[in-house]
């Protein structure tokens, strides 16, 4: 039985990916029997009949160009779609005192807006308002922007105790994104899954890293879970 002291939490941010791209990511999770917390930017048919014991839905609002007075309406739009969501992860990890207070007032219990890339000492903590703040250990777009093609490293997963959050994006799994330049060249085709398949990277990329990670999880019998489990 997996040791609960050694646990990985997979998360994904949908951004504005097409339905087919999200379905590709969900199929990967299902094939390998992996739970995942998915932060949704909008409505997706593929999420409507999900198994809640395997897929948790969080909110992924975009506040980047919004004014302070617009924050609540943007959050409420997503809450109307996913009223049972417990967590939130802003686009580009945008966070501020007004936002953290808004999240708490809205009934959310955790946020995932902190990045401590590959920092093994980072831990979840409770904000003064009672919101649980969860740090991301690894994220795909940071990886391909700052250390492209550096393969999966198992060393942090050999420690005796850890709770690490690995964050992916469906579009980067679909493209097997290899670098910031590769992704920039693909962006004009963002809404065209057929064209995206044509420009998928053939070498080592995000999909490759994901497969190395989940193979190591299976080989080492590492526990996996959904983010709401950290609330207890």
Q: According to DSSP H, which parts of 12-88 are helical?
A: 19-31, 45-48, 71-81
Q: How many residues does the chain have?
A: 232
Cβ neighbours, 10 Å, residue 109: 17
pLDDT, averaged across the chain:
97
Q: Read off the pLDDT of residues 23-71 as tens digits, 9 standing for 90 and up.
A: 999 999 999 999 999 999 999 999 999 999 999 999 999 999 999 999 9
Q: Read off the pLDDT of residues 61-106 as tens digits, 9 standing for 90 and up.
A: 999 999 999 999 999 999 999 999 999 999 999 999 999 999 999 9
Q: What are the tokens at 106?
A: 């809205």
- pLDDT value for 1: 81
Positive or negative CA dihedral for 10, 54, 75, 84? negative
Average pLDDT over residues 126-147: 98
- pLDDT value for 70: 97
Q: What are the tokens at 9?
A: 């939490």
User: At 113, phi and psi to the nearest 5?
Assistant: -120, 25
- pLDDT value for 232: 80
SS3 track for 143-175: HHHHCCCCCCCCHHHHCCCEEEEEEECHHHHHH
Domains, the chain, with CATH or none: 6-231 (3.20.20.370)
Query: How far, CA to CA in Å, does 226 sit from each of 37, 56, 89, 114, 188?
Result: 6, 6, 14, 17, 33
What region, left, alpha or beta, does residue 131 occupy, with left being phi > 0 and alpha being psi -120 to 50 degrees?
Answer: beta
- pLDDT value for 153: 94
Q: Measured in Å, how far apart are the chain's first and last C-alpha atoms?
A: 20
């Amino acid at each position: 039985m997996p040791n609960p002291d050694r646990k990985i939490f997979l998360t994904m941010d949908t951004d504005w990916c097409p339905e087919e791209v999200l379905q590709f990511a969900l199929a990967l999770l299902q094939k390998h029997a992996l739970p995942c917390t998915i932060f949704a930017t909008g409505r997706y048919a593929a999420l409507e009949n999900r198994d809640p014991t395997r897929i948790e839905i969080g909110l992924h609002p975009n506040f980047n160009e919004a004014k302070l007075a617009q924050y609540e309406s943007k959050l409420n739009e997503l809450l109307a779609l996913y009223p049972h969501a417990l967590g939130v992860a802003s686009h580009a990890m945008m966070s501020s005192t007004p936002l953290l207070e808004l999240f708490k007032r809205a009934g959310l219990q955790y946020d995932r807006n902190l990045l401590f890339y590959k920092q093994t000492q980072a831990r979840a903590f409770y904000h003064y308002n009672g919101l649980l703040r969860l740090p991301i250990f690894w994220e795909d777009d940071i990886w391909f922007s700052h250390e492209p093609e550096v393969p999966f490293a198992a060393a942090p997963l050999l420690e005796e105790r850890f709770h690490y959050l690995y964050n992916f994006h469906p579009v980067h799994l679909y493209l097997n994104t290899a670098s910031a330049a590769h992704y920039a060249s693909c962006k004009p085709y963002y809404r065209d899954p057929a064209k995206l398949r044509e420009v998928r990277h053939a070498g080592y990329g995000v999909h490759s890293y994901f497969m190395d990670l989940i193979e190591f999880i299976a080989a080492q019998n590492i526990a996996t879970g959904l983010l709401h489990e950290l609330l207890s």
